[in-house]
Amino acid sequence: KQEVTQIPAALSVPEGENLVLNCSFTDSAIYNLQWFRQDPGKGLTSLLLIQSSQREQTSGRLNASLDKSSGRSTLYIAASQPGDSATYLCAVRGLGNTGKLIFGQGTTLQVKP
Amino acid sequence: EPEVTQTPSHQVTQMGQEVILRCVPISNHLYFYWYRQILGQKVEFLVSFYNNEISEKSEIFDDQFSVERPDGSNFTLKIRSTKLEDSAMYFCAGDLTRSGANVLTFGAGSRLTVL
């Protein structure tokens, strides 16, 4: 059974720092991995989608990497801003005819001005 | 940019009452999902729906739950007799394909509080 774990659970950094959020998954047989942002009491906003054949994806100050064989993904945020404060979730989609995502518990990020 | 719209944003109900949560997916999406997030816990898959039938469901999705897309636009989640433990944020999501080549798009969620 696929398990997704994110560390750290919470992170507080001063504005301007570069930071890395970690995601690990137990079953490397995935179709893709998606990173989401969730603001308090709000929905999920997709940030980056990495297919299993890809190593990384970039969008602005965000870079996500995927090492499928070791069951790891990282989300790198460059030059963090207070507006980046949110919970970041990673989710994996398994192989086969399924659209189901398995989520990690998230990393809650606070960027202090 | 197209959005997935969910109503109501918040519903408070008494235990044992029926609740219907509604979702209007993006118009060209074909696959639809319900997820839930109990406060402080992970987002959990409930059910996927395609071509007017359930294609996959989790162990959470028992006989108290049902989904339908009655008019080709709205996608609903019904909880027949709510329990305290059904209190959660419920998210609707949609996708163009099942393959995962595209981003799964989520709605803003419906918060259900069962008293």
| Token pair listed for B62 | 């028992």
- At residue B101 the predicted structure's pLDDT band, cuts being 50, 70 and 90, is low
Residue B51 contacts A where some CB pair is shorter than 8 Å: no
Cis peptide before B70 (omega within 30 of 0): no
The full 3-state SS of B38-56, as one line of letters, equals CCCCCEEEEEEEECCEEEE
How confident is the prediction along chain A (113 residues), in pLDDT tens digits per residue?
899 999 999 999 999 999 999 999 999 999 899 999 999 878 899 999 999 999 999 999 999 999 999 999 999 999 999 999 999 999 999 887 677 899 999 999 999 99
SS3 category, A82: helix
| Token pair listed for B2 | 């197209």
Asked if residues A93 and A30 have their Cβ atoms less than 8 Å apart, the reply is yes
Taking the CA of residue A68 and the nearest CA in chain B, the distance in Å comes to: 16
Cis peptide before A8 (omega within 30 of 0): yes
Q: Output DSSP code: residue B83.
A: -
Confidence (pLDDT) at A78: 97
Please name the amino acid found at residue A99.
G
Do the chains contact at B109 and A42, CB–CB below 8 Å? yes
- At residue B1 the predicted structure's pLDDT band, cuts being 50, 70 and 90, is confident
User: Considering chain B, what is the average pLDDT of its residues?
Assistant: 91
**Which of B99, B102, B112 is the best substitution to test chain A (most A C-beta atoms within 10 A)?**
B99
**Higher-confidence position of A96 and B65:** B65
- At residue B2 the predicted structure's pLDDT band, cuts being 50, 70 and 90, is confident
- Measured CA to CA in angstroms, residue A68 lies from A9, A39, A53, B30, B68 at distances of 22, 28, 9, 28, 36
Model confidence at B45: pLDDT above 90: yes
Asked if residues B56 and A100 have their Cβ atoms less than 8 Å apart, the reply is yes
Nearest by CB: A99 against B42, B91, B95:
B95
Total length of chain B: 115
Confidence (pLDDT) at B27: 84
Confidence (pLDDT) at A87: 96
Confidence (pLDDT) at B51: 86
Do the chains contact at A101 and B104, CB–CB below 8 Å? yes
Confidence (pLDDT) at B54: 92
Based on C-alpha coordinates, what's the Rg of chain B? 13
